Amino acid sequence: MHPLEIGGFSENGEPITVEIDLHKHHQAACTEERWLFGGVERDSGKLFIIPVAARNEETLLPIISRMILPGSIIVSDVWSGYDNIGHLGSGVYEHRICNLVDCSDDSVHTRSIESVWLRTKKKLAHCETSRFELYLDEFIWRELTKNCNQFTEFLMCLAEQYVV
């Protein structure tokens, strides 16, 4: 699957809002702690989810720079690892912080990414540890194509991979 950049500007020039969050993935038979970092565009539902080895600023900021287009409004919860998002690339992102409990602005929330984590947890709870990333890739593909004809999308992916 191609890397997907999200965010940036809409067709009418408005900045696109992207919610980001870290999530600890639990598997029943797995003692290994697995962290996922993800982002979702509120309006389109485009998303990315990446397993991360460490949950720190040094790991997450390069992912944000690679996966989220400049000009985006990034909404996150309160966590020190997100403190410098507004300074990335000399301030190419607007960073808004929300605590789920006491948000004063209704447009600043993380409900979309929390919904993604609920669906992720449901779909990946019982997958084999050795195949986790394959299941994760399938989950992301299904999320990105849920409003399309998935069979047609699958054939288009095959055509890109196996040129005749």
> Does 65 map to a domain?
yes
> Does 109 map to a domain?
yes
> Does 98 map to a domain?
yes
pLDDT in tens, 43-83: 899 999 999 998 899 999 999 999 999 999 999 988 888 99
Q: What CATH number corresponds to the domain at position 84?
A: 3.30.420.10
Q: Which residue has the higher pLDDT, 4 or 84?
A: 84
Angle in degrees, CA 92, 96, 98, rounded to 5: 155
Q: At 101, is the pLDDT very low, low, confident or very high (cuts 50, 70, 90)?
A: low
CA distance 29 to 27: 6
Burial of 86 (0-12, 13-18, 19+ CB in 10 A): middle
pTM: 0.84
CA distance 22 to 156: 31
* Domain of residue 35, residue span: 6-161
> Does 1 map to a domain?
no
Specify the number of domains making up the chain: 1
The 10 Å Cβ neighbour count of residue 88 is 17
Q: Which residue has the higher pLDDT, 27 or 150?
A: 150
